[in-house]
Amino acid sequence: MNDTAAAILKATAALRDGTEKLRFESPVHVTYNPLTYAWGPHEQYVRTYGNGEKSHLFLGMNPGPFGMAQTGVPFGEVDAVVNWLHIRGEVGRPEHTHPKRPVEGFGCPRSEVSGRRLWGLFAEAFGTAENFFRHNYVANYCPLIWMGATGANITPDKLPAEQRAAVDAVCMEHLLSLITILNPHTLVGVGAYATQKLRDAASRLPGKSFTIGTLLHPSPASPIANKLWPERPIQQLKELGIL
């Protein structure tokens, strides 16, 4: 393992432990932290692809219930993780689970559309994962996924202000560490939330200069993504000089 991957893993372990200490109240019913129960595949992802400084950092918001929540890999749709990223590993279970959101690991039968679209885009544009990760890296701002009493997903921006501030304190520290370690010149938020977090981080690194851009979020809840994927994100990658 090289120095970059080791530094990322050290920062990620601090993120894992810091977020694991947080406690959440209504409307949150259950919280999953894939960095605790799916650390093995995540460590494999970092060791394999966090193998040096990168020109471009892509940042997502937080895990989806059928992606990273199952595999421990950002945007970790099972098929993409196994067949494009070539990662498999043992996945445990959260201490408390919601019956409508079981963690089945690499046996999860559902496909996360966001992950399938994002990794599919990179596969189309770069061919192999090795080609993509030569100059690029993908991470999430926050490793936690929150569910309400019905099992519905709760996004970080919907948390009460005090709880949101506690999450930001831990996650922003990790993001600053990640940017410092990878030393990218281009920061790309996958969606508006992640882009704002990158802008916040850049403002705390006054000695560095970045190009900051946004990639259309691949969520199936986005009518624009449903209509314009992958043509619009390919255009955005070209505008940012990544393609």
127-164 pLDDT tens trace:
999 999 999 999 999 999 999 999 999 999 999 999 99
- For the stretch 197-228, pLDDT in tens is 999 999 999 999 999 999 999 999 999 999 99
Mean of the per-residue pLDDT values for the chain? 98
- Kindly list the strands in the beta sheet with 153-154, ordered across the sheet, starting from the edge strand earlier in the chain: 30-32, 145-147, 153-154
Band (35; pLDDT cuts 50, 70, 90): very high
Give the model's pLDDT for residue 16.
Answer: 99
Q: At residue 1, does pLDDT exceed 90?
A: no
Give the global pTM.
Answer: 0.98
Q: At residue 230, does pLDDT exceed 90?
A: yes
- Percentage, residues of the chain above pLDDT 70: 100
- Percentage, residues of the chain above pLDDT 90: 99
Give the model's pLDDT for residue 101.
Answer: 97
- Mean pLDDT of all residues in 69-73: 99
- Give the separation between CA 73 and CA 150, rounded to whole angstroms: 25
- Topology adopted by domain 3-239: Uracil-DNA Glycosylase, subunit E (3.40.470)
C-beta of residue 41 within 8 angstroms of C-beta of residue 73: yes
Domain parsing of the chain, residue ranges: 3-239
